[in-house]
């Protein structure tokens, strides 16, 4: 088994563990799946970063997961924050991608 296959297995295992934990939390606490599903985005992002730390998609998934998790669990102020934070994160990621493109051309 090569390194890439091992990394995919690790990411898949992390996702399955997270889904299992979220199901248990949903059945036994007030922290149901409707409030906790953004944790899956965070775990998938972490899995992407384990494979390649410079993966912009992984960083985006983590940022989006954190924003959504805060938004779903801590009401009014978090919504205002996410209204501005998400676009700023998207702009930063886009700028990094454009910079990377032009850096590769020189």
What is the value of pTM for the model shown?
Answer: 0.65
Residue-number span of the structural domain to which 52 is assigned? 3-105
Give the confidence band of 98 by pLDDT, cuts at 50, 70, 90: confident
pLDDT of residue 77: 63
What mean pLDDT do residues 65-69 have?
Answer: 86
Number of domains in the chain: 1
Q: Say how far apart CA 37 and CA 19 lie, in whole Å.
A: 9
């Amino acid at each position: 088994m090569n390194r890439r296959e091992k990394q995919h297995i690790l990411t898949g295992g992390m996702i399955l563990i997270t889904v299992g934990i979220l199901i248990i939390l949903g059945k036994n606490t007030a922290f149901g799946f409707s409030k906790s599903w953004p944790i899956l985005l965070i775990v998938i992002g972490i899995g992407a970063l384990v494979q390649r730390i410079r993966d912009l998609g992984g960083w985006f998934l983590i940022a989006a997961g954190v924003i959504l998790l805060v938004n779903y669990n801590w009401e009014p102020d978090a919504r205002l924050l996410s209204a501005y934070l998400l676009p700023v994160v998207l702009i930063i990621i886009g700028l990094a991608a454009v910079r990377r493109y032009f850096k590769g051309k020189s």
